[in-house]
Amino acid sequence: METLKKIITDIAAISEASAQKLCDLFEEIHYPKSHLLFRQHEMDPTLYLIKSGIARAYYRTDDNDVTFWFGTEGSAVVSYNSYINQTPGYESIELLEDTVLYRLEHQHLGALYETDIEIANWGRKLMEKEIILVEERLISRLLLNATQRYKNLMDHQPELLQRVQLSYIASYLGITPVSLSRIRAEIR
């Protein structure tokens, strides 16, 4: 329970009483590697927090999967369309390791938003942080070249390079696995 409380308070400062209300609603669950938490074009407004493990979000096209997000310990995992708009999500989210998560159904969190302003503000802060992460990924993709994006990943999320297969890293960076191998060879 202390790990969950730490994840919650790392998102935003919150009183002990409100943090406990949140903790009481989250359920700890375990899923194996390769489990799909969310499926593209399906509705699922569940919020997860990663206790241990790693996940990737991707969009499947006719030709391949396009990876656009990785989540590690402490990350929130959510399908934004399902969670916010109550419509089917555009992404699939797959676990890349055996993973322990904390799960909270949207309706339970919504009820807390109605009764506890601290929790409502916590939820706002969570979404604000998620928006910043999306913006950082977008700006990186638009303004940095492939080598700069790889170096940025090395600087800010080096654990991904040890824990995620290189084809997913290449997709995340918007390059082919061959280009990633070339970049890695040049940097060494």
> In the chain, which residues have pLDDT < 50?
none
Distance of alpha carbon 146 from alpha carbon 68, whole angstroms: 14
Domain for residue 10, yes or no?
yes
Count of positions (residues) in the chain? 188
Residues of the domain holding 51: 2-116
Q: At 24, list the tokens.
A: 């009481």
Provide the token pair at 64.
Answer: 């391949």
pLDDT of residue 111: 92
Report the amino acid identity of residue 83.
Answer: Y
CA distance 71 to 62: 25
Number of continuous H segments (helices) and E segments (strands) in the chain: 9, 8
In a domain, 182, yes or no: no
Question: Can you name the residues that pair with 92 across neighbouring β-strands?
Answer: 58
| pLDDT tens-digit readout, 136-185 | 999 999 999 999 999 999 999 999 999 999 999 999 999 999 999 999 99
**What is the structure's pLDDT at 188?**
76
Predicted local confidence at residue 2, as pLDDT: 87
User: Would you say residue 188 lies in a domain?
Assistant: no
- Structural domain tally of the chain? 1
CATH number of the domain residue 91 falls in: 2.60.120.10
Confirm whether 123 is domain-assigned: no
Strand-pairing partners, residue 59, are 66
